Structure 1
Amino acid sequence: MAEAHQAVAFQFTVTPDGIDLQLCHEALRQIYLSGLHSWKKRFIRFKNGIMTGVYPGSPSGLLVVVVGYMSTTKYAKLDPTLGLFTELSAYLPVSKYIGEDTQRIVGGVLVSTGLWVTIIFFMRSILKSLLSWHGWMYNRHGTMSLRTKLWLVLVKLLSGRKPMLYSFQNTLPRLPVPPVKDTMRRYLESVRPLMDDEKYNRMEGLAKDFEKNLGPKLQWYLKLKSWWASNYVSDWWEEYIYLRGRGPIMVNSNYYAMDFLYVFPTNIQAARAGNAIHAIMLYRRKLDRAQIKPLMVLNTIPMCSSQYERMFNTSRVPGVDTDVIQHVNESKHIAVYHKGRIFKVWMFYDGRLLLPREIEQQMERILADKSEPQPGEEYLAALTAGDRVPWAKARTEFFSRGRNKQSLDAVEKAAFFVTLDDTEQRYDPNNPVQSLDNYAKSLLHGKCHDRWFDKSFNLIVFKNGTMGLNAEHAWADAPIVGHLWEHVLSMDPVKLGYTEEGHCKGSPHPNLPGPQRLQWDISEPCQAVIDSSLNVARDLADDVDCHTFPFVSFGKGLIKKCKISPDAFIQIALQLAHFRDKGKFCLTYEASMTRLFREGRTETVRSCTIQTCAFVKAMVNNDTREEKLRLLRVAAEKHQDLYRLAMTGKGIDRHLFCLYLVSKYLGVDSPFLKEVLSEPWRLSTSQTPLQQVELFDLKNHPEYVSGGGGFGPVADDGYGVSYIIIGEDHINFLISSKHSSPETDSHRFGSNIKQAMLDLLELFQLDKNATK
């Protein structure tokens, strides 16, 4: 085979006349181009490190300061060295080596450079102080106070002109540790509607005892950590919430993202994969060069970008007690799964990234390969879907040497994982419910053995050209993967495009080496572990009840006319739907971000509030419309206040989590913390944000946006609900629960959500108001 021959750089044979050496010039050329590509990347990283290190300064700014300083001192007839060389001459014979004029120039450059560094440090300190103020969040929607306007102007002036992805990392403030007293007060307020008087009085007693006795001691350790570490929560959150979990990460941790719902760019599987993979690799190139614009609230206030660092070339490696995240700086290949076989596909040739049609060519070769899986290979990826301890032990015993290790390295060190799925998934307007439910379930868990759940993310391309993502959760949160996915979807049908026949644009490469089939030696004991993991994963997958539906009766356009936050509106509707569904309230989790702080991740908004419960009861008791409307507005305002507290580091759940960990490290039992951390989240919710609105023409083409993403239920008897607001008139809901729970039914809950949304809008009587 041509590709096998080209893989050998040189050959030699020993003859009576000596050694006969035969060099393969093509292979040596590829080695040279590969090395050149690597050195370019290193130089770019070095340059970006310097640019980020001096930001908001720049080389041009240094030149201005140096020239301005030298000109000013010359005009004023001052010594530009400020006596620097006079002081040095007392200890070193400077004048023997450097002339007087040269001393003036060198000394002036050194002094002015020091002045430039001082200015940068001063600007950073002021910017950090400015970013620690969050009063701008409390402006009424659509209005802005004079103080906020002045603050925004100052932030803009100190932020520089062309920030790169990591430019603001050193200027972001640290996440503050809330006072124990405030956390206790907010916690008790959050659980009041969920407890009767007896239970609440008991919990109040535990909280007050903790606040008075153990709390201050634990708080002292947290304060110490907050001064020493970049973020007092994030490292513990990653380790204890994600990496130390010993159960399956499939369904329980991993989440998914959908394709367009109503747009089908091509029906050719290899072509769709070609464009998507190329777009992802272009994004990685921009990421490596830090050319991605950092996300800015109000186009001015920067958010932390640290989570982007491990998006590519990353895998979760199982351990007996805890997993670790393995990240390599560079990877030039991807791993591709198809019908039980795994292939290694190089993404570069001739020192450049493969073009979409060339990637399609590689995918066509894989699809055309009719070879059978090796013994045990077909279900190998099920190891990543089952419990972590059997996988960790199997990895050590069966994958630590020989070609098993080489093949596993090829998967774990790949840029990302691709599955060419042999099923067809798509939104079918003739069968909308079943088609979307099947699509969601396939992205969430597939067949349990055709996704490598440990990879940072899996690109899944179905037989009919539909695609989606499945992402591992430990390394980053959903908005980071969402940012990548928005880039891919915006490039795929519009910027990259397809031919009339549905292929990627361009031509196949005549000399492109083909994909490399990974080889495995799977012994019978190893196959037994694989089968066991597969059984665990299948039981978990079969129990998942997914329901996805587009809500098209109205969207954020009408909600805004009600002068209410769309997110608050939806969250209150979810509370009403849940009460109608189960006849009771429950502890509710809504994910919020803390990326206004360095290395910030998430915080919890406890959406089930006293105010929301009062509104729900008014709806159930059929109070007057005026009373229900008043209570709705009060509940919405309370929800917005909780969201602001969460975003500004004043949430309660991460604080309580860290206090609990400190108590465990100290070997001290806290009945209060133990009870708080054991409370189940029976309703877990999250909004999928659209972060790069400028990439999509939502007004004319709202269909060119992802259908959103979803996740599995957090509690066995609870619901997981994700939603995405698409344009002005469309909201997509993605619901999950478990068939095994007699209390839950995803389709029933979906019906309750639809009705609750309509009932809330009806209170505003928009049609009647318009008539008046």
Structure 2
Amino acid sequence: MAEAHQAVAFQFTVTPEGIDLRLSHEALKQVYVSGLRSWKKKIARLKNSFITGVYPASPSSWLFVVIAIMGTMYARVDPSMGMIGKIKEHLPVNGYLSHQSQSIVSALLFSTGLWFALIMTMRYILKLLLSYHGWMYEQHGKMSVTTKLWLTLVKIFSGRKPMLYSYQASLPRLPVPAVKDTMQRYLESVRPLMNDEEFKRMTALAKDFEVKLAPKLQWYLKLKSWWASNYVSDWWEEYIYLRGRGPIMVNSNYYAMDFLYVIPTPIQAARAGNTVHALLLYRRKVTREELKPSRVPGSIIPLCSSQWERAFNTTRIPGEETDTIHHFKDSKHIVVYHKGRFFRVWVYHSGRLLNPKELELQFQHILNDTSPPEPGEEKLPALTAGDRPTWAKARRSYFRSGKNLQALDLVEKAAFFVTLEDDEQGLRTEDPVRSLDAYAKSLLHGKCYDRWFDKSFTFVVFKNGKVGLNAEHSWADAPIVGHLWESMLATDSFQLGYDDGGHCKGQVDASLPLPQRMQWEISNECDEVIQTSLSIAEELAADVDFHTFPFDDFGKGLIKKCRTSPDAFIQIALQLANYRDKGKFCLTYEASMTRLFREGRTETVRSCTVESSNFVRSMMDSSSTLNDRLKLFRLAAEKHQLLYRNAMTGAGIDRHLFCLYVVSKYVGVDSPFLREVLSEPWRLSTSQTPIQQVELFDLVNNPEYVSCGGGFGPVADDGYGVSYIIVGENLINFHVSCKFSSHETDSHRFGKHIREALLDILALFNLQKT
């Protein structure tokens, strides 16, 4: 009851003399501070919107244009060629405006119009410049005169001090490839996977589609590309992610790991305090648009930043046929899960963010709480781990009113979800293999009921101070989460730090409200649904075979001496490893990005090529010479880089085919070609997690502060999922997943083949590790 009284601003009693009204000054103060903060955020958003809206110009440039026009007028020169006079003629005549005032107002209106015209011209020129992608196809280390001139112009028209979203309006639209080009590239990509008869049949299907149906479907795509910001992204989000009816746990969500070798503090509450504060600082930068715009690494070329908008205060809402993404402009709390209980933790007090020390005490209070979960509460999050229709029906039936509605609303509107684990994870030197495998599985699915898989991300803090993250995939791709994760790790370790006892730094406000235990009323019927979802999730999780391992025999330092792309080197090694593992080639997916274009997301690089297959066969042929193998490797690497560049510049295969398929469904026609193409399984699905903010980590002086990266579940029942991160010059971390139920796969066996393939390819170059 004491908590209830503290929450009421007005207390009154009826007395014989009348109503005795007492005001709670502290509550009124908090109302005032909260409102003030809200208005400050609104004003800041308006300011940022205006600054972004006039970019690449700046608001101060308007004053420069006005002064310039006024100066020419006083010099009796009319730069408007009569337009100022025309404006003056149409101004309303009244007694308040003198002749001189009319001239000034006319000049101001003309100056403002000229300013906007200059902005639109600069933006259009910048968009044209950013549509040029010839620089990507030039030989590494050599730059043509054309590209040098182009870079100079990009610098001139890019403006100064851009904010997070400043370049959005200047980014070009994703082009629709020609059907003929896509068909040619597709047939080329499947050639190593088919025998002559199969390839002949597929060629006939492709030609028939290209001539008869494709032109009609292509017309709709071109129309959409002219009308929409991106002809792919909204359909990709809806049909690939939100309309999936199976569990998103394992199948869609992915994870990120802590430092590989370092735990900054073993105190769970302290690590939670620092890292949560670091995440909130990052959220503030996103809200204020203070993050630097995303760019191509090592260049001034901007990338689309739109995905950052939904990083926080976002949740996926289940539906029976399709899910939706709900994003809230602000959230003043997080929801914490510990030993089956839910707690709301306020992250603001008196108009400011709680500091790390205050957050540590909040988390310690939760860890010290020994109250048991309410009936049905402990495994409630399993609803988000099971089938989507089941969760949608349960949400509609059992969470529409009362305590359940209020508690669910708190979860869905939280900045993010936090789980305080009661077990320890991370690398253990006495058992490195099993410990990292267990760490990966814990982050991927946990106990299947201790993550809220619908939130944009669930932040996990283990008992020994290790942290991790499980991210929902529909709202954004891995590089956005990776950027957030890098910033959090660097802020935690190198900026905030800990005292000598391992606790957070800072002072604590004694009036800080304690975490609030959330209340649920779970009926027996609802609990049965929870158990059903949990059974499905546990069966899925138990089937996941995961192997995470650091490869430290060499890294990109030696790979660069081979004069090849590190990514191409690794991808070709994966082809060799897969062939040794299964004795055949398979359709291979490597995730690339299309964020050179507005609202771009991903494209597929089909890494299994004729060239890579020829190289792999040469490695399996004992009669093949070293020179033959090196020559074939060069051809395979060049081909891979070409495919990667094509994917980044909008000339990929799979998103175009996907959108043609969507249009075919809308117009009610069936294409045997598209149906077959879209049903082909990706038995090797791969992704690189690049370090985007190298400047945050000094690996020379702090070599132990290396990220372990992240991973994802297998895409095909009989295939592998492989994620890798190139860290520094001498380390590559791999995350390999598959399913125990498949007799064709084994994550540890494949990991062994990856190691051997990397070493065997390096041996071709006769280099020594330095």
TM-score (norm 1): 0.98
Aligned with 1:412: secondary structure? helix
**Contact (CA 8 Å) 2:258, 2:466: kept in 1 or not?**
yes
1:629 matched residue in structure 2: 630
In the alignment, the residues of structure 2 paired with residue 77 and residue 446 of structure 1 have an alpha-carbon distance, to the nearest angstrom, of 74
Deviations 1:80-121 (A, max 9, x none): 7945466654x6652533011212222111111111111111
* SS of residue matched to 2:168: coil
Contact 1:335 1:418 in 2 (8 A): yes
- Size of the alignment, in residue pairs? 768
Q: What is residue 196 of structure 1 aligned with on the other side?
A: 195
Q: Which residue of 2 aligns with 1:330?
A: 330
SS of the equivalent of 2:426 reads coil
Does the 8 Å contact 1:455/1:471 carry over to 2?
A: yes
Which residue of the partner structure matches residue 213 of structure 2?
214
What displacement does 1:5 show?
A: 3.5
Q: Does residue 415 in structure 1 map to residue 415 in structure 2? A: yes
- C-alpha distance in 2, partners of 1:84/1:71? 14
**1:539-558 pair list within 5 angstroms:** 539-558=539-558
The residue number in structure 2 matching 1:764 is: 765
- The residue aligned with 2:236 is 237
Q: Deviations 1:605-634 (Å, cap 9, x if unpaired)?
A: 000000000000000012111100000000
Distance 1:93 1:240, change over 3 A: closer
Question: Which residue pairs with 1:151 in the alignment?
Answer: 150
- Counterpart in 2 of 1:689? 690
> Which residue is 1:515 aligned to?
515
Which letter does structure 2 place at the counterpart of 1:345?
Answer: V
Partner of 1:94: 93
2:295 is aligned to 296
SS of the counterpart of 1:97?
A: coil
- Cα distance in 2 between the residues matched to 1:274 and 1:2: 27
> Contact 1:545 / 1:746 at 8 angstroms: preserved in 2?
yes
Matches within 5 A, 1:142-541: 142-297=141-296, 298-541=298-541
Note the 1:559-574 alignment, pairs <5 A.
Answer: 559-574=559-574
Q: Is the 8 A contact 1:79 1:104 kept in 2?
A: no
Look up the equivalent residue of 2:103 and give its one-letter code: R
In 2, distance between residues paired with 1:385 and 1:570?
Answer: 33
| Amino acid in the other structure paired with 2:338 | H
**Structure 1 runs (4+) greater than 3 angstroms displaced:** 1-5, 76-89
> Gapped runs of 5+ residues in structure 1?
none
Measure the CA separation in 2 of the matches of 1:269 and 1:143.
50
SS of equivalent to 1:336: strand
Q: Show the 5 A alignment for 1:16-31.
A: 16-31=16-31
Q: Which amino acid counterpart does residue 311 of structure 1 have in structure 2?
A: A
Tell me the CA shift for residue 739 of structure 1. 0.5
> Partners of 2:476 and 2:33 in 1: how far apart?
33
Give the corresponding residue for 2:118: 119
User: Aligned-pair distance for 1:247?
Assistant: 0.3
User: Deviations 1:11-54 (Å, cap 9, x if unpaired)?
Assistant: 12223332222211111101111111111100000000000000
Q: What does the per-residue CA deviation read over 1:720-750, in whole Å, with 9 as the maximum and x for residues that have no partner?
A: 0000000000000000000110000000000
Equivalent AA in structure 2 for residue 599 of structure 1 = E
User: Structure 2 CA distance, aligned partners of 1:722 and 1:640?
Assistant: 18
1:519 to 1:607, Cα distance in 2 relative to 1, 3 A:
same
8 A Cα contact 2:91 2:102, kept in partner:
no
Q: For residues 744 and 86 of structure 1, what CA distance do their matches in structure 2 show?
A: 78
- Tell whether the 8 Å contact from 1:81 to 1:107 is kept in structure 2 after alignment: no
Distance 1:121 1:610 in 2: 46
- Structure 2 equivalent of residue 654 of structure 1: 655
> Could you tell me which residue of structure 1 aligns to residue 718 of structure 2?
717
Which AA in structure 2 matches 1:172? L
Distance 1:86 1:186, change over 3 A: closer
The gaps in structure 2 that reach 5 residues or longer are none
Summarize the Cα distance change of 1:369–1:87 in structure 2 as closer, same or farther, 3 Å threshold.
closer
* Deviations 1:465-523 (CA, angstroms, capped at 9, x unpaired): 00011000000000001110011011111100001111001133322110111100100
In the TM superposition, residue 145 of structure 1 has moved relative to its aligned partner by 1.2
Indicate the SS of the match to 1:504.
Answer: coil
Q: Which residue of 2 aligns with 1:105?
A: 104
Structure 1 residues 564-643: aligned runs within 5 Å = 564-622=564-622, 623-643=624-644
1:701 is displaced (CA, Å) by 2.4
Q: Distance in 1 between matches of 2:369 and 2:53?
A: 49
The aligned amino acid for 2:403 is R
SS at structure 2 position matched to 1:685? strand
Q: Deviations over 1:187-212 (max 9, x none)?
A: 00000000111111111100000000
Between 508-517 and 241-250, the greater mean CA deviation after superposition:
508-517
1:78 CA displacement: 3.7
SS at the partner of 1:337? strand
C-alpha deviation, 1:6, in angstroms:
2.4
How far, CA to CA, are the matches of 2:161 and 2:87 in structure 1?
Answer: 40
1:55-90 Cα shifts (integer Å, max 9, x gaps): 01112211111111211221244487945466654x
Query: Which has the higher mean CA deviation after the structures are superposed, 80-89 or 257-266?
Result: 80-89
User: How many Å separate the matches in 2 of 1:78 and 1:579?
Assistant: 75
Q: CA deviation at 1:640?
A: 0.1
The Cα of 1:248 is off from its aligned counterpart by 0.2
Q: CA deviation at 1:4?
A: 4.2
Q: Following TM superposition, by how much is the alpha carbon of 1:396 offset from its aligned partner in structure 2, in angstroms?
A: 0.1
User: In the alignment, which residue of structure 1 is the partner of 2:71?
Assistant: 71
Call closer, same or farther: CA 1:421–1:88 in 2, change over 3 Å: same
- How far apart, in 1, do the equivalents of 2:79 and 2:391 lie? 70
Structure 1 residues 87, 601: CA separation in 2 closer, same or farther (over 3 Å shift)? Answer: closer
Query: Is the 2:88–2:103 Cα contact (8 Å) retained in structure 1?
Result: no
| Deviations 1:629-679, CA, capped at 9 Å, x for gaps | 000000000000000000000000000000001001111010000000000
Distance 1:356 1:92 in 2: 59
Larger deviation, residues 434-443 vs 98-107: 98-107
Aligned in 2, Cα 1:749/1:26: closer, same or farther, shift over 3 Å? same
Aligned-partner Cα distance in 2 for 1:40–1:702 = 42
Per-residue CA deviations over 1:373-418 (Å, capped at 9, x if unaligned) read: 0000000000000000110000000001111000000000000000
How many angstroms apart in 2 are the aligned matches of 1:648 and 1:396?
43
**1:270 partner amino acid:** A
Q: Which amino acid aligns with 1:150?
A: L
Taking the aligned partners of 1:188 and 1:87, their CA distance within structure 2 comes to: 62
Secondary structure of residue in 1 paired with 2:343: strand
Q: Deviations over 1:678-730 (max 9, x none)?
A: 00000000000111111111333243232000000000000000000000000
Is the Cα contact below 8 Å between 1:3 and 1:513 reproduced in 2?
no
Which residue number corresponds to residue 667 of structure 1? 668
The AA in structure 1 aligned to 2:344 is K
Measure the CA separation in 1 of the matches of 2:142 and 2:39. 50
1:716–1:741 Cα contact (<8 Å) kept: yes
- Provide the C-alpha distance between the structure 2 equivalents of 1:4 and 1:659, rounded to a whole number of angstroms: 58
Compute the displacement of 1:2 (Å): 5.8
Q: Distance in 2 between matches of 1:307 and 1:351?
A: 28
Rounded Cα–Cα distance in structure 1 between residues aligned with 2:82 and 2:109:
10
Q: Retained in 2: the 8 A contact 1:2–1:513?
A: no
SS in 2 for 1:96: coil
Instruction: Tell me the equivalent position of 1:741.
Output: 742
Residue pair 2:69, 2:79 contacting (<8 A) in 1 also:
no
Structure 1 residues 245-288: Cα deviation after superposition (integer angstroms, max 9, x where no partner): 00000000000000001111000000000001101101111111
SS at match of 2:364: helix
Per mean C-alpha deviation after superposition, the further-off stretch among 509-518 and 390-399 is: 509-518
